[in-house]
Amino acid sequence: MITEKTFLGKLKTYLLFAGPTTFIFFTVVILPFLFGIYLTLTNWDGISATYSFVGLKNYLSAFQDKKFWDSFILTLKYVLYTVIFTNVIAFTLAYLLTSGIKGQNFLRAGFFIPNLIGGIVLGLVWRFVFSNVLVYIGNSLNWEIFSRSWLSHPEKAFWTLVIVSVWQSSGYMMIIYIAGLTGIPKDLIEAATIEGANSLQRIRHVILPLLAPFITVCVFLSLQRGFMVYDLNIALTEGGPFKSTELVAMHVYEKAFLSQEYGIGQAEAFFLFAMIVTVTLVQVYFSKKLEVEQ
């Protein structure tokens, strides 16, 4: 095998194999991102052919937008619950489905299927469930909790978002945890058992430390999904009732495209991007500190 040692030779090889991909990534991702940052400094409404430079005025307007901060705080609450519940349920399912129970492969496929359903379809299906099926069951059995649609109550509507999101994502995270659990040497589990450790002690002192890299990945993906959710939000609750479930991604979309304040909406989107990057980097940094080598 001949290797290129000169700079031009390496550049030629790179352009030959990775050049097209790099070009597509640069034109589809990098250039729109940079142009979006530029638009945060203008007063473009998303329609006009002309616009003017306004400096940091859009960022100031974004920080003064009370609805933006309300939706952002609501999104933080939503992310907190979905990350915790998703990973706890996913780990529990993965642990049970690697214990050798009958039909575990079938169950793995069954729990993973909700992840294959798009957010719009998923939201519409569960909207029918919460508005019709559960209401019918609640009235038939005199269950007060389901006597009225949860989507008509601000607090309960928020929990519908959490429930459906966890139901959708748990199966995907379960697969990642299963990959981690199957890679743990059985000798370590057997040694802990011989030493007298019960199942909870084995999970706490042996399994979880060795699963730290997989926990890092799952929490990272959960955070990313939670902050960027939009399709499920609009299909399930439409931000209602009375904007009580309008998450930040929906607010940014409405600010930019429906209110025709594209510069402000883009500034809020950039702030959201910066917050996601900050939160995920902090999460990955501290998670890496908890990892141990097998």
Token pair of 112 as six digits? 């993973």
Task: Please tell me the predicted confidence (pLDDT) of residue 1.
Answer: 44
Task: Please tell me the predicted confidence (pLDDT) of residue 51.
Answer: 85
Distance set, CA 52 to CA 15, 37, 38, 255 (Å)? 38, 14, 11, 19
Task: Please tell me the predicted confidence (pLDDT) of residue 127.
Answer: 93
Task: Please tell me the predicted confidence (pLDDT) of residue 294.
Answer: 46
Token pair of 231 as six digits? 């399709």
Closest CA to 245 of 157, 167, 164: 157
Report the mean per-residue pLDDT for the chain.
88
Distance set, CA 168 to CA 7, 47, 86, 98, 142 (Å)? 48, 36, 9, 21, 29
Q: How confident is the model at residue 171 (pLDDT cuts 50, 70, 90)?
A: very high
* Cα–Cα dist 95/35, whole Å: 46
Helix pair 119-128, 154-182: axis angle to 10 deg: 130
Average pLDDT of the segment spanning 132-138? 91
Task: Provide the H-helix boundaries in the chain.
Answer: 7-17, 19-25, 31-39, 57-63, 66-96, 104-112, 119-128, 134-141, 154-182, 186-194, 199-202, 208-210, 212-228, 231-236, 248-253, 262-289
Task: Please tell me the predicted confidence (pLDDT) of residue 292.
Answer: 53
Peptide bond into 241 cis (omega under 30): yes
Q: How confident is the model at residue 86 (pLDDT cuts 50, 70, 90)?
A: very high
Domains in the chain (CATH in brackets) are: 61-289 (1.10.3720.10)
